[in-house]
Homo-oligomer: A and B are copies of this chain.
Amino acid sequence: MSRRSGILEFAVLGLLRESPMHGYELRKRLNTSLGVFRAFSYGTLYPCLKALVANGWLTEETGGSPEPASLTGRRAKIVYRLTAEGKSHFEELLAHSGPDAWEDEHFGVRFAFFGQTSRDVRMRVLEGRRSRLEERLEKMRTSLARSRERLDDYTLELQRHGMESVEREVRWLNELIESERAGRDQRAVDPAEQHQKDTSGDADGLPRRRGGSRPGPSDDTTT
Contacts and interface: CB of A to CB of B under 8 A. Distances in A.
A155 B115 contact: yes
What bracket does the count of chain A residues touching chain B fall in?
Answer: 35 or more
B223 A138 contact: yes
Nearest to A156: B210
A46 interface: no
B115 A33 contact: no
Contact of A172 (B36, B115, B161, B176): B161
B160 A209 contact: yes
Tell me whether chain A's interface is mostly helix, strand or loop, or mixed.
helix
Interface stretch (A53-61, A91-99, A106-114): A106-114
A70 interface: no
A135 B222 CA distance: 9
A162 interface: yes
